[in-house]
Structure 1
Amino acid sequence: MRKPAALLKSVSLFGAAAVLGCGCSLFSAPSVSHSDASAPLPDVSIVINGLDMPYPEGMDENDNPYLDYIESHTGLDVDVLLPPLDVYEDKLNAIMASGVLPDLINVSNGVWVDNYVRQGALLPLDDLLESYGRNLLENIPEALWDQVRYEGEIYAIPSEYEVKGMELMYVRKDWLDRLGLAPPTTLDEYAEVIRAFAEDDPDGNGIDDTYGLILTEELGRSSPFFGAFGTQPDQWLERDGQLVYGGIVPETKEALAFLARLYAEGWLEPMFPLNQTANLAEQVEAGKIGLYSAAWYDTRGIIRNSKAHNPAAEWIALEYPVGPRGDSGVYATKPVRSYNVIPAGSDHPEAAVQFLDFTAGEGYETLKLGFENDVWRMENGRMKTDFKEHNKHQYRGIYQALTDYYNPELNEQRFDSLGEFHLTENLRIIERNIVPDAFVGLATPSMSRYMRELKELQTSVFDRIVLGLEPLDAFDEFVADWHAAGGAETTREVNEWYRAQKRGTGR
């Protein structure tokens, strides 16, 4: 159903209020009296990630058949707020400081959760889950609940990643064939293909208009190249019985040297520090790139669109590059995709849990697959999906992703029903080559204090090294700075957790 006009107006003005540091209500129209601001909220008000999903004409996050479906089955009136993705956590912080709080907030950063738990700003959820969350408790794995317990109490309802990893290498086979090259396997062979795609006119148009490799901001889509050196810069690795942050190990310096060489030679697309996924998609679809680390689902998105632009484009999956010591692999997704928390002071915490319980229980399949006989149907024992209708209503994922859990059988059935995009095959390749993150505990106190700044330091130094603005030895100075800026304290806490895990006591 349509939400009250005043409430929707407040949602549209939310960004300005947050940027200006306004203390006005975020869930009622601005510039109201104190008595107006204390008016009752809807049955359940939720702040969630919009996942950059488009809506069919005439629909939005508060007016569409899937939200109607949730409301009709739960009896709840749900009001949805979608802060802008590029400043999502900043908006959440503004909400928490506003004094007028929603009933539910979804956030992907465990450090954010840890920070507000320690401030006493979030509700413990054990009693609410016992009363209203039967499906949540039954369907979400116990290992995930262990990651949201603080001193024995649950403070967040976790959503599990539906996949164990994200990236695998894809290459244009038609370009390989044109240049007489075989699919690369070793890092040296990859370097030769990257060079040839940049220098040898792989599209045959006689113009110097292609690059051998494209990355995105914060060295996104580079994981397989770090894996070739036996590291993943944003994970914790086990070394000689201790955990060490992957961003500071010597192997990461080697990987940066490799990427810096690609840039210096002119083989790496030069705008990578500014590239978002949309920029990568534009370049791949326009035929400027013939090799990159794809997301597992790019075969039904970016790569599919590349073929639509150029029917001659033939893309195939590759083995991961194998480095000088025989290493290869790609980063693992975090076990917890996102966290659902209830601010202390929520007017309707029980309604928030009821809403999530429906998405994890009775509503799970419909929100995951779409409406039966509309988006999908069963035919001769196999699921068939109407790809156009599926894409049209993908926005349903903003609700479903709140309480996802790993269901490989349903996933395989769903992925195969979408068409010949090799989605299940892609995921199997990834899962065979994952470099596990050795730290899967709760965010530590030092992570809450330091990790955002440490990540910004890492991004700045790594980008400058690859761009040739800093010498490779700047990495050694970065490591020292990282330790001094809170990394040493964080490492100590992570290893305290690791020792406790080995003793079987947990945190």
Structure 2
Amino acid sequence: MKRWKQTMSALLLVTMIMGTACSSNTTNQPSSPRASSDTSSASPSGSGDASEELERKSIRVVFNNGGRKFPDKMDENNNPYIDFIREQTNLDITLQIPPADGYQDALNVIMASGNLPDSIYTFDASWFENYVKQNALQSLNEWIDKYGADLKKNIPEDAWKTVTIDGNIYAIPSMNAEPGNEIMYVRKDWLDNLGLQPPKTLEEYREVMRAFAEDDPDGNNKNDTFGFIMAENLARMAPLVGAFGIQKGMWTERDGQLVNSSILPEMKEALAFIAGLHKDKLLDPEWILNKEANFSEKIASGQAGLFSAFWYDTRGPILTSKNNEPDAEWIPLEFPVGPEGKQGTTGNGYIAGYNVVPITSKNPDAVVRMLNFMNGEGYRTLLLGFENEVWSMQDGKIVTNFEKHNEHIYRQTLGESIRPFGAKEEKDRRDSLGLEFNLNDNIDRIGKVAIRDQYFGVPTPGMGKYKADLTKLELEYFTKMIVGQLPIDAFDKFVEEWKKKGGDEITAEVNAWYTDNK
């Protein structure tokens, strides 16, 4: 662990945090009026034997708060949501929240401190794998079998495979709630102005891009609109690449083996198509410099009428566009169909984070009890907030009190730490944000074509050594090819370099995993 040790000042910082957390006396916390205070013989659902009286235990847990603020006179250990969990699980729980900035570094300091908590949340798969190799984490199989009925129900088998090494489960994963992010949106009023129909095929998309760039779709007699807009680091182009049946950087099966999609001939075809858009001046000429803020501003200000939106952009730049131009009408599109009839967009990985139990903990059973409740019976409250306070049912729909929602936003620290997969509550939450934003429809459309990575194991040793450099190599080659600084045939040179600079080694490791997990 020597390579993980930090400076003394960093160690002091986390030690102070730990001391503060430890000093919180949970037995003196005010009881929550929202849950019964009689939990001396609690027996949470999913604990195994419903008649079993569960021992009251004290545990210390590390979560990532993401910099969220607490209301006045509240903190991570004094608020109604942590009280709710305490009372429903018969556990004395003390939260420890390192600073959001440098969170992973703080976890390394905690692991080196000799004063370890009972549970730690990390979003870094490499961190998780590293400490498994150091024999620093406990196997949780026994306790999941005994106390984790809801965990087993709400986390899919493929996710469990990711955290299972040599038959031992070393983490309880928190799941991604959405299947992917990107979906095509277009200004229908611009299509109508030009007498165009919503595009379906890749070539129809190209014609709409040409018309939006050249035919004055907003009717202001100015050359001030783009055909399509992308963002820095090759962002916001997933549906275009998906028309060739792949996604950048993902592993996909070919002839019984996993290969990286970035080196396939289909990627060369996708890059050739996008390079053609740039050459013909159909792309925003500044796309390579577009950070998220100015990307959104160009949409909101009427410079772009076709783009790959995030599923929640209907509440962001699209909403701002409508506020700026009341006649602006945005609609979702079918994902572009490529030359071989394929469609797709980037699918999210299953796992967003990992809850691990250090080897020194005497209470792995209590950690599983807590996480099982948070992932099961307690999740609705942790996600949505307290009923009739943050939200209420009106005409069969959830209506959110946004003032209370924002006041209680700190609760998401708990909900995000052990999110179930495909929970109905997620749909309820999205609808509660406003049916006019079509958030669930966007998610459903994405889910139908999302292309998921077929490697979902922990990072391999080769990934640790080479992945960062290979990603940089890919970004440099692909960007230069799109803007014309390199010919499309330079793709073959990229593949050759990718393989020599660690790609072949990683491919061998990935396929060793694939053979064992087919």
TM-score normalized with structure 2 length: 0.80
CA contact (8 A) 1:23 1:98 kept: no
Aligned residue identity for 2:481: I
Q: For residue 277 of structure 1, report the CA deviation from its aligned partner.
A: 3.6
State the distance in 2 between where 1:271 and 1:352 align: 50
State the distance in 2 between where 1:273 and 1:229 align: 22
Match of 2:386 in 1: 371
State the distance in 2 between where 1:414 and 1:223 align: 26
SS in 2 for 1:170: strand
Match of 2:283 in 1: 268
1:16-48 deviation digits (Å, cap 9, x = unpaired): x99978552342349xxxxx9899576524142
Match of 1:432 in 2: 448
Alpha-carbon distance change, 186 to 379 in structure 1, aligned in 2, over 3 angstroms = same
Q: For residue 316 of structure 1, report the CA deviation from its aligned partner.
A: 0.3
Correspondence for 1:214 among 202, 225, 229? 229
Alpha-carbon distance change, 161 to 26 in structure 1, aligned in 2, over 3 angstroms = same
CA contact (8 A) 2:275 2:484 kept: yes
State the distance in 1 between where 2:459 and 2:143 align: 23
Match of 1:477 in 2: 493
State the distance in 2 between where 1:471 and 1:204 align: 36
Match of 2:95 in 1: 78
1:386-420 deviation digits (Å, cap 9, x = unpaired): 45544554443332122112245443344334322
CA contact (8 A) 1:214 1:292 kept: yes
SS in 1 for 2:437: coil
Query: Is 1:447 matched with 2:447?
Result: no
Alpha-carbon distance change, 93 to 293 in structure 1, aligned in 2, over 3 angstroms = farther
Aligned residue identity for 1:79: Q
Q: Equivalences for 1:314-393 in 2 at 5 Å?
A: 314-345=329-360, 352-387=367-402, 389-390=404-405, 393=408
Query: Is 1:25 matched with 2:12?
Result: yes
State the distance in 2 between where 1:56 and 1:283 align: 36
Aligned residue identity for 1:487: G
Match of 1:11 in 2: none
State the distance in 2 between where 1:151 and 1:250 align: 36
Match of 1:13 in 2: none
Aligned residue identity for 1:195: R
Query: Is 1:299 matched with 2:314?
Result: yes
Q: For residue 165 of structure 1, report the CA deviation from its aligned partner.
A: 2.5
CA contact (8 A) 1:112 1:448 kept: no
Alpha-carbon distance change, 98 to 440 in structure 1, aligned in 2, over 3 angstroms = same
TM-score normalized with structure 1 length: 0.82
Correspondence for 2:134 among 119, 122, 144? 119
Alpha-carbon distance change, 387 to 319 in structure 1, aligned in 2, over 3 angstroms = farther
State the distance in 1 between where 2:211 and 2:424 align: 41
Alpha-carbon distance change, 97 to 414 in structure 1, aligned in 2, over 3 angstroms = same
Query: Is 1:498 matched with 2:508?
Result: no
1:44-88 deviation digits (Å, cap 9, x = unpaired): 2414262x767778877677654554456553231323423xx66
Alpha-carbon distance change, 39 to 369 in structure 1, aligned in 2, over 3 angstroms = closer
Aligned residue identity for 2:496: A
RMSD after superposition: 3.4
Match of 1:203 in 2: 218
Alpha-carbon distance change, 23 to 109 in structure 1, aligned in 2, over 3 angstroms = closer
Q: For residue 364 of structure 1, report the CA deviation from its aligned partner.
A: 0.6
Alpha-carbon distance change, 138 to 296 in structure 1, aligned in 2, over 3 angstroms = same
Query: Is 1:243 matched with 2:230?
Result: no
Match of 1:48 in 2: 64
Residue correspondences, number? 478
Match of 2:40 in 1: none
State the distance in 2 between where 1:59 and 1:281 align: 35
State the distance in 2 between where 1:434 and 1:126 align: 31
Q: Which range moves more in the overlay, 355-364 or 67-76?
A: 67-76
1:419-440 deviation digits (Å, cap 9, x = unpaired): 2222222222222222343323
Aligned residue identity for 1:25: L
1:69-118 deviation digits (Å, cap 9, x = unpaired): 4456553231323423xx66556556556666555443334333223322
State the distance in 1 between where 2:168 and 2:508 align: 24
State the distance in 2 between where 1:21 and 1:205 align: 62
Alpha-carbon distance change, 431 to 175 in structure 1, aligned in 2, over 3 angstroms = same
Q: For residue 138 of structure 1, report the CA deviation from its aligned partner.
A: 4.5
1:202-245 deviation digits (Å, cap 9, x = unpaired): 33344443323232343222111111122211211122222110
Alpha-carbon distance change, 253 to 143 in structure 1, aligned in 2, over 3 angstroms = closer
- Compare CA radii of gyration and give the structure with the larger one: 2
Q: For residue 300 of structure 1, report the CA deviation from its aligned partner.
A: 2.9
SS in 2 for 1:180: coil
Unaligned runs of 5+ in 1: 1-16, 31-35, 503-507
Alpha-carbon distance change, 152 to 169 in structure 1, aligned in 2, over 3 angstroms = same
SS in 2 for 1:224: helix
State the distance in 2 between where 1:268 and 1:95 align: 48
State the distance in 1 between where 2:336 and 2:75 align: 43
Q: Which range moves more in the overlay, 316-325 or 384-393?
A: 384-393
Identity of aligned residues (%): 46
Correspondence for 2:412 among 397, 419, 424? 397
CA contact (8 A) 1:231 1:251 kept: yes
State the distance in 2 between where 1:204 and 1:19 align: 60
